[in-house]
Amino acid sequence: MDISSQITTVLLIDPSEDDRQYWMKQLKQSSPHYQCFEAEDAESGLAIYKRERIDCVVLELHLPDMSGFLVLLRLNPIVRRRLQAPVVALSRLSLPSIVEAAKQLGAQSYLIKSQASSDELVAAIQSAIATVRSTPKQVHASTA
């Protein structure tokens, strides 16, 4: 098997450089097969998503330039009636209504930063990717 087919690309969109660096380090320590991209805001994250082959987006909902909910809508437009992008919300926001709203807009998992472990993040990423890959394919326009 070609090694490139084993690489899992993850895009971390989070305004906190410390948080991005921490979670990227955790992912790389969990497996050498993680390749991480990072963005400090929604617009640069969406640009990376369009430009690179991203297997999963890890998204903080509290962003400086737009709501993480809008990012979810851009990645997984409701009109498509199918999941396009595997997204794990990894946020400081912990209200149950926010968690539910994120899941309704296409986040496959929701982890609270202060409570999440690297093992939980890895499991959530793997589950999100599997969920989207198992969703029946439909013809759709380009994302975001």
Question: Is 125 part of a structural domain of the chain?
Answer: yes
What value does the mean pLDDT of the chain take? 88
What whole-number percentage of the chain has pLDDT above 90?
77
Question: Is 143 part of a structural domain of the chain?
Answer: no
In single-letter form, the type of residue at position 84 comes to Q
> Is the per-residue pLDDT at 20 higher than 60?
yes
> Is the per-residue pLDDT at 56 higher than 90?
yes
- Give me the pLDDT at residue 93, please: 93
55-69 exposure pattern, b = at least 16 Cβ within 10 A, e = fewer: bbbbbbbebeeeebb
Range of the domain at 47: 3-134
Question: Is 46 part of a structural domain of the chain?
Answer: yes
Of residues 65, 24, 77, 75, the one with CA closest to residue 41: 65
**Which CATH number do you get for residue 127?**
3.40.50.2300
- Give me the pLDDT at residue 126, please: 94
DSSP code of 6? Answer: G
Question: Is 72 part of a structural domain of the chain?
Answer: yes
Question: Is 144 part of a structural domain of the chain?
Answer: no
- Is residue 72 within 8 A of residue 99, CB to CB? The reply is no
Question: Is 127 part of a structural domain of the chain?
Answer: yes
- Work out the average pLDDT over 76-93: 80
- Work out the average pLDDT over 109-116: 96
> Is the per-residue pLDDT at 142 higher than 50?
no
- Work out the average pLDDT over 100-110: 94
C-alpha 62/C-alpha 41 separation (Å) is 9
Question: Is 142 part of a structural domain of the chain?
Answer: no
- Is residue 56 within 8 A of residue 87, CB to CB? The reply is yes
Question: Is 112 part of a structural domain of the chain?
Answer: yes
What whole-number percentage of the chain has pLDDT above 70?
85
Structural domain total, the chain: 1
